[in-house]
Amino acid sequence: MNIYYVQHTIHYGHRRDRKGIGHYTSYAAAEQAIAKLSKMPGFNDPRGSFKIHSCDLNRIYLPLGLDSQETSSSRPPVDQYRADIPDYVICLYNVNSIDAETFDDDFFILGYFRTEAGAAVAVDGIDASDQLKGENRIFETHRCYVNRDNWVDGFYTDR
C-alpha cells in the first residue's frame, strides 16, 4: 500500500514556507486535494508549488546519500496487513535542526507505518545500520490521519 503526502512550498529568496497538506491513500485523492486548495489564499501564490511524495507503507526511506532499505524488521509479514484503508498512519521523521537564519525545520520523512511499534522497529534498524550519526539521530513520530485535507481555508503570511 502507498501513502501519498502532499506538500506546498513557497520560496521567499533563501527562505521557504512549507505546509503539509495531507496524507492520502490514492494518487487521485492527492490530486483532488491540490485542485481544491490551489484556489485558496496562500496556495495560489505564483512563487508556490505543490508536490506529491509517494511512499510504500512500512518501508524505511533514508536521506540522499544513504541507502534506503526494506528489511525484514521494517516490513511485517504479509498476514499482518489489513485489507481495509487505515484511519491514520504513523509518520517517522528524522529532525536535523532548525536553521537559525531562516527558521526552517530541516526534517526528512523516513517512512510511514501502521503502528508505533512498526516505527520503533524501523528506528532500531536505522540505529543498527549506523547510517545516521550524531546530531542527525533525532527521530519523531506523529499520527497522520489519511484522506483529510489540512489548511482547508488557505493561509496568509506576512512575508
- Identify whether 153 is part of a domain: no
Domain that holds residue 121: 2-145
- Identify whether 159 is part of a domain: no
- Identify whether 64 is part of a domain: yes
- Identify whether 138 is part of a domain: yes
pLDDT digits (tens, 9 = 90+) for 97-151: 555 454 455 667 888 898 899 888 888 887 766 666 666 677 888 898 999 887 7
Query: What local confidence, expressed as pLDDT, does residue 51 receive?
Result: 92
Cell of 103: 527558521
| Block residue for cell numbers 512498526 | 118
Q: Please state the rounded mean pLDDT for residues 60-82.
A: 45
* Beta strands across the sheet bearing 88-98: 105-113, 88-98, 139-145
**Domains contained in the chain, number:** 1
